[in-house]
Amino acid sequence: MSVAQRLVFAAPAVGAAALAMKARFVTPQEHSGFLAMWCLGPGECLRTIPWRLQIFWKLWPVQRHIQTLTAEELKKQWQPRADDVVVAVPAKSGTTMLLQAAHQLRVAGAWGHDDDFEDQMDVIPMLEGGPASLLPSNCINQEQLAQPRIYKSHFKCRAFENIKVKRIYCFRSLKDVLVSDWNFTASILESEVPLETFAVMRILPGGIDRALNDLCDWWEHRHDPGVCLFFFDDVLEDRLATVERLQEFMELKRDKDIAKVVAEQCSHSFMSENHSKFDDHKIIEALDRFTGINRTSTLVGKVRKGGGKSGEGAVLPLPVKLWIDWRWEHIVRRRLGFGTLEEMRAVWAAEHAERQKR
């Protein structure tokens, strides 16, 4: 083989290495798929291919039936009201629990009565649609059974620029999010994709970077009157304080008795006892009609046994954990100055305590 031929064969590897080095030392604040592949392991990245193909093949029949609004499309189609409440929480970060708390507050803790629901999505539409667009009840401009109107959304902070509504955000350790997401998604797709492979599939397209940049955006707007920011661990540690904050934020009548009832109703044990109301079974049934999946196992759902707690990310492979830590260093620390999530939580707690004294 001639020198020229060797150079031709080596060029792609040299180019990829150059891009990875640039991302590592010149522009570390920007996501690089090449660097992620190098750090997570080329072999592990290659092992994602059959699983990606499996998931694509399973979801292909339903893709054309799902309508997902972009932020610009939302602004054209949605008719928001100033008192609307959007639980704009990233997936697997406390969305269901906060939706439950907000809804139960607006119905004064009613449960098992006319204000009850078969599935949470019956009474709370998804703003951007997505798989929820398959449900006839997912109409974002209609009246809801109680006031204020509540919406679920996974839109990023910047999607709500120039939209005057109340927004609730909650951040959870991304290591814990990956584990929770794997349990939920693998169950829906009836896939046996390994956790380590699933985590790599989420990281390579830049999911960690997008989540951390979004956290920074919300943090910079944390004092806006239309924003209510939570951290997942704080919600777990004091549900009653969370509910009372929501009660005040939603401008509902302050009632400690109702707050106590709702705090119990959004506990993991209570929601687990009513698991079928939070497992998206109506959406899954709609998906299954298009995909032809005949389920052989029970849905894990959003309130899985043993879930809803901190520290689950400890089981992730070391390269995945190191990558998440490195991205925090070059996104959150560089932009906000916080070396860890615990530092950010401590500052937020001090700020909140100071506001309570005023």
Per-residue pLDDT at 13: 67
Backbone angles phi, psi at 151, to 5 degrees: -130, 145
Segment 132-146 mean pLDDT: 93
Closest C-alpha to 236, from 179, 176, 289, 294: 176
Per-residue pLDDT at 137: 87
Per-residue pLDDT at 114: 59
Per-residue pLDDT at 207: 96
Return d(Cα 236, Cα 240) in angstroms, integer.
10
pLDDT at 264 over 80: yes
pLDDT at 268 over 80: yes
The tens digit of pLDDT for each residue in 155-200 reads 999 999 999 999 999 999 999 999 999 999 998 888 899 999 999 9
The tens digit of pLDDT for each residue in 12-23 reads 667 777 877 787
The tens digit of pLDDT for each residue in 202-246 reads 999 999 999 999 999 999 999 999 999 999 999 999 999 999 999
What is the percentage of the chain residues whose pLDDT exceeds 90?
72
Q: Is the pTM of this model over 0.85?
A: yes
Kindly give the pairing relationship between strand 166-171 and strand 227-231.
Answer: parallel
Per-residue pLDDT at 319: 97
Q: Residue 276 in contact with residue 303, Cβ under 8 Å? A: no
The tens digit of pLDDT for each residue in 52-71 reads 999 999 889 988 899 999 99
- Domains of the chain with CATH codes: 35-357 (3.40.50.300)
Which residues are 129's β-sheet partners? 68
The tens digit of pLDDT for each residue in 74-89 reads 999 999 999 999 999 9
pLDDT at 303 over 80: no
- pLDDT class of 115 with cuts at 50, 70, 90: low
Per-residue pLDDT at 340: 97
Q: Where are the alpha helices (DSSP H) in the chain?
A: 3-25, 33-40, 42-46, 48-63, 71-77, 95-106, 174-189, 195-203, 207-220, 232-237, 239-249, 256-265, 268-273, 281-291, 318-328, 334-336, 341-357
pLDDT at 10 over 60: no
Per-residue pLDDT at 17: 76
CA 70 to chain CA centroid, Å, is 17
Closest C-alpha to 45, from 311, 320, 349: 320
